[in-house]
Amino acid sequence: MRAAVLSFPGSNCDRDLLWALDTMSGIDSELVPASAEHLDNYDLVCVPGGFSYGDYLRSGAIARFSPVMSSLREHADRGGLVLGICNGFQILCEAGLLPGALQWNRNLNFICEPEPLRVVNTDSAFSNVYSQDQEIVLPIAHGEGNYYAAPDTLAKIEANGQVIFRYVDNPNGSLNDIAGLTNAAGNVLGMMPHPERAVEQLLGGTDGLGVFASLKAQCEEATTNAAR
């Protein structure tokens, strides 16, 4: 399995994510700048957290126009896996790769704390090693993490089983306690909590490893099926 970690001006979680993928999860990974125009031969493309382009206008609003985004859309359209974390989630929504939008937290403050989540769908490329309704703890660090979607869109998301993670104690006002969801096809996930910050006991816990182990298992299964 090969993974690309995109790096935008202002990204500050790209190397953390690279460490979680490559060193802690055994996924061959490399940093790819936002100026890149091709994303060939990658199974997974990750859009990390941070403050891309200073979060001017809106979080992710400028990053969506980076040269690499055209290739990211092509990668997603052909079924390639995409993981967006925090600012990455915001970028994916701004780019139209995920439904809805992230707005300011209901208390209008930046929140940085460990947060309990519930894994509500284990039938996904991003959660298949977890147990149904398993409670995990991942750090959050965002000012604009309040997930919103129009009522009809939200109904479709729920009906399609696109919600993967929900907050146990909603910290930011996200509708339906949504902490992470996929596109309709299930190959693109956006989540506000940071799994890459929970991959070593030294960091306070290892609950985030399940996201990367799930992706690795998904890719290995696809490779096995293709070889039959």
Q: Out of 13, 46, 75, 86, pick the active-site residue.
A: 86
Catalytic (active site) residue 38: no
156-183: per-residue pLDDT in tens?
999 999 999 999 999 999 999 999 999 9
Range of the domain at 164: 2-227
Residue 194 annotated as catalytic: yes
pTM of the entire predicted model: 0.96
> Which of 15, 13, 41, 42 is closest to 215 using CA atoms?
42
Tally of domains in the chain: 1
Q: What is the pLDDT of residues 4-42, one digit of tens each?
A: 999 999 999 999 999 999 999 999 999 999 999 999 999
CATH of the domain at 181: 3.40.50.880
CA atoms of 224 and 92, how far apart (whole Å): 30
Q: Please list, in sequence order, all residues whose beta carbon lies within 8 angstroms of the beta carbon of residue 227, skipping any fewer than 6 positions away.
A: none
Catalytic residue list contains 196: yes
Q: What angle do CA 5, 196, 127 make, to 5 degrees?
A: 95
